[in-house]
Amino acid sequence: MIDTNTTTRQPGHDNLRGGLRFTTELIAWVATPWALWPYSIPLAIGAVVLLIGLPSLFSTPGDRPGGDSPVAVPGTVTILLVLIQLVAATAAAWALWPTRTAATVTLLCLIVPFSELPRWRHLMSATGQ
């Protein structure tokens, strides 16, 4: 039987917080290589590998509802990976898009850390900190 009790969920993994975080990640995954491509194709490909690969490879044990990644890291590393995504999304938006769109992306990237605070508190209190 599937447990649908929301009190057993990890903080920060509800639809709103996860959706905001995923939206910024998706922007970073698409916009960063798009912005880098005219300057360096290997750098653009490397950015995709880093932005998608690092969070796939490294995570804090117990943080992911779908299971842990191959390499366990402290909560601070997971938080740093989210911040890298936010910075990449913001920088790429300003490099690529009109001011109104870039400002919207920036605002979204500024909202995400506040929505992530419960998750980040939980990550910082995880064992091994």
Domain count, the chain: 1
Report the candidate in 60, 66, 58 with the shortest Cα–Cα distance to residue 123.
60
- Give me the pLDDT at residue 69, please: 77
Residue 6's region, left for phi above 0, alpha for psi from -120 to 50, else beta, is alpha
Are 105 and 27 in contact by the 8 Å Cβ rule? The answer is yes
Checking if the pLDDT of 128 tops 90, the result is: no
∠ Cα 80 86 92 (to 5°) = 130
For residue 33, being part of any structural domain is answered with: yes
Per-residue model confidence as pLDDT tens digits over 44-80 = 999 999 999 999 899 888 787 776 778 889 989 999 9
What is the rounded distance in angstroms from the CA atom of residue 72 to the CA atom of residue 60?
5
For residue 2, being part of any structural domain is answered with: no
Host domain of residue 65? 14-125
Checking if the pLDDT of 4 tops 70, the result is: no
